[in-house]
Amino acid sequence: MRPKRLLLTGAAGEIGRVLRPALRGVAEKVRWHDLRPIDDAAPGEEAMSGDLTLPGAAEAATEGVDCVVHLAGIPREAGGTPDEILATNVVGAHRMFEAARKAGVRRFIFASSNHVIGFYRAGEWVGTLEPPRPDGHYGVSKVFGEAMGR
């Protein structure tokens, strides 16, 4: 079923910039959101900026949305200190999941990472039943997001 309004968080980021052209036309309306301003939205696209860790920001982003693709956060260990990664990625993910739940969002797509299982030995088979073994604070933040999704 085609979403009426899709929200992409982290839309100005590394992956978000690649996904935006592919997501055009997937929904009747799209909303791009990032901490950084987005100044290249096409006609009919909505661009929002703000810090999703702040109270009310996630609620504003999810208003009227029925599908969320959540990419926002600090990517990889080099993107910030452990405190910054955990504050941004864990608090931000929690606020987004809660805002989406309260707004009645029907579908929430959380972008995880191979860093969730990064401390398994190379070549070792890892499936969906093995416990996470994150390889750093970024991986821990993604484990949190996966748990919220469950």
Catalytic positions: 138
- Alpha-carbon dihedral angle through residues 137, 140, 146, 147, given to the nearest 10 degrees: -140
- Phi, psi of 11, deg, nearest 5: -70, -20
Using the Cα atoms of residue 95, residue 97, residue 103 and residue 109 in order, give the sign of their dihedral: positive
Q: Give whole-number Cα distances, 39 to 49, 94, 100, 145, in Å.
A: 10, 27, 25, 29
